[in-house]
């Protein structure tokens, strides 16, 4: 039920993308955050253009879905 909220997926999506594209473990973001986050820009810039397009389209999709759910709720539709 929590995943069906309006903006939660737009907030979770960047975290999931970072976990997918980065080659460090999830726990290293907590144990050595400076080192983990310093590697992230290099990893993002090393992506192919097609990969960036796909990831940005996914982010745009989560944002549009949030707006659509908000509009539908304002018009009286109940989601789930």
Query: What are the pLDDT digits (tens) for 12-64?
Result: 899 899 888 988 888 888 898 898 888 888 888 898 999 999 999 999 998 99
Rounding to the nearest 10 degrees, give the CA dihedral for residues 61, 51, 45, 30. Answer: 60
CA-closest candidate to residue 63, choices 1, 14, 2:
14
Beta strands in 1-80 (DSSP E): none
Global pTM? Answer: 0.75
Domain ranges of the chain: 2-74
Q: And the tokens for 61?
A: 């999709």
The pLDDT, as a whole number, for residue 57 is 96
Separation of CA 53 from chain center: 14
The length of the chain, given as a count of residues: 80
């Amino acid at each position: 039920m929590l995943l069906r909220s309006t903006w939660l997926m737009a907030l979770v999506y960047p975290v999931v993308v970072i976990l997918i594209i980065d080659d460090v473990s999830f726990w290293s973001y907590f144990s050595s955050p400076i080192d983990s986050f310093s590697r992230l820009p290099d990893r993002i810039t090393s992506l192919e253009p097609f990969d960036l397009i796909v990831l940005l389209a996914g982010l745009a999709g989560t944002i549009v879905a949030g707006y659509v759910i908000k509009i539908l709720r304002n018009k009286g539709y109940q989601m789930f």
